[in-house]
Amino acid sequence: MDTRVSSVERQAKADPPKGAARAAERRGDEVPVDQGDRGAGDGHRDTSGVAVAPRPRGRWRGRLHTTLDLIRANPTGRITLKIFVAVVGAVVVTVGIALIPLPGPGWLIVIGGLGIWALEFIWARRLLTFTRRNVQSWTRWVMRQSLAARLLLGAVGLVFVAVVLWLSLKYSLGVDVVARVLHYLATH
């Protein structure tokens, strides 16, 4: 029996595939990391070269990422996942866009669809980060304003929603709510 081990076998034993290593890390298993490859010890390197600890994930998020990594490990699974995420994200974004003129969570549904797209598409992840950053800065700005200014902003928002609702009902369903209310007030 030949006791020599080929260099390919040695490399395979020393270096597990990156997808398997990522999945094992997400499960919480300890994976040996090459210092030159990932960073210092058990941490990761950020863009400045400083070692940082990996961000802990919740139990269900870890399972989701592990499942997605297993699907992405297969070329057919990777393509199927991209198509599935693209279609589901498009449906959710389309429904959200349709609901924007109506009072309700139209923008929230659009952002949810963007979050679905962000699972597979880098451009969606960047757009979601941009949106989150701007919403947070808007919220901080509003909270720094006086109570009177916040009430005025709220009133302007309510008037805007009311006008959009009125126009939506008038032009999509042919119901002029303002004319009906004025007619009711004039006759009673």
Q: How much is the CA Rg of the chain, to the nearest whole Å?
A: 27
One-letter amino acid at 20 equals: A
Percentages (nearest 5) of helix, strand, coil residues in the chain: 70, 0, 30
Residuewise pLDDT in 10s, the chain (188 residues) = 455 555 445 444 444 456 666 666 666 655 555 444 444 444 444 455 556 566 666 788 788 888 888 888 888 988 999 999 999 999 999 998 888 777 678 888 999 999 999 988 999 999 999 988 998 998 899 899 999 999 999 899 889 878 878 888 888 788 888 888 888 888 88
DSSP per-residue letters across 26-78: HHT------TTTT-STTSEE-TTS-EEPPPP--HHHHHHHHHHHHHHTSHHHH
pTM comes to: 0.52
Token pair 């269900």: residue: 60
